[in-house]
Structure 1
Amino acid sequence: MSGHGAPSLEVDASGSRVAVVASSWHEEVMDGLIAGARTALADGGVTDVTLVRAAGSFELAVLAQACARAGFDAVVALGVIIRGGTPHFEYVSSAATDSLARVALDTGVPVGFGLLTCDTEEQALDRAGLDDSSEDKGREAAEAALATLVTLRSVLAETALGGRADR
């Protein structure tokens, strides 16, 4: 199970504005991912959450970038791509992954990566945070975004005070 060894990322991000950008494909999986992300954000003290729906996983990056540029403190990107019988899976998975990383690097805004790339729908359901799922990747993506946000704020505050960020 890939969730084995996952860190505890409990942080206080009260007062932060977070956008959850979620694909529209595979409704049951997406409902679970969104619910998991919302729970993690609430647990992190975030009350200002905006849900933005994307047509598909390929479109997540452009919407995440728009949210980052619009002033959201963090973005949680959620989607699912299930392998089919054509190379489409590899192209979309690679493009979506690379583009979401680029959004974070280009804007400096944390992007929680909740894009499931699975061989089967059963694998996706098992990671969706549903009652019978073994993992909750929506929650994990939101926790990662908040942990990165809090750490970035600490690093920026440290460097603004003339300290060294590499201590």
Structure 2
Amino acid sequence: MQKFIVYINFPFPGGELSFCSVLNKLTLLKFEIHMEELKKKYTPYTESERMSYIREYLSTSETKYQFAKRTGICRRLLILWLDKYHINDKVMSTEQPSLSKASDESLNELEKELAALRAENRKLQRALQEESLRHEACEELINLAESTYHIKVRKNSDAK
């Protein structure tokens, strides 16, 4: 079996010409196309877009990584913008800020008021349920009286 190798001119990125086989050329082209896909495209952001991204990041509870992944911007770019505009990053702490005595008292008052309102709501719900049962019982009695004694108990709406 004879092997034929075809040599062709192939320009390298530096501008120089080289001779290589068709197989090598295809491999190099495939590699070049793959490298172009991997190359990140630089997107210039306006001042308002940067501030919009920063505001959005600070208003969410996401980490920089999660935010960058969701929005498609680079995490390092977000860090650079925060440094550039001297914006303190949000603090990811689990401890709650200590409440003052006055706010503790108002919180207790609000909790008491909430408990009282819930109790009143339950009481009114029970009263409504009893009243609807009473109404159903009266309706049934009226229907029974009308069918048994052939007496019209309900008012005639046509009467004047």
Give TM class, smaller chain.
under 0.3
Under a length normalisation based on structure 2, what TM-score does the superposition of the two structures give?
A: 0.19
Relative to the length of structure 1, the TM-score reads: 0.18
Q: Which has the higher helix share?
A: 2
Larger fraction in strand: 1
Structure with the bigger RCO (C-alpha within 8 Å, sep 6+) is 1
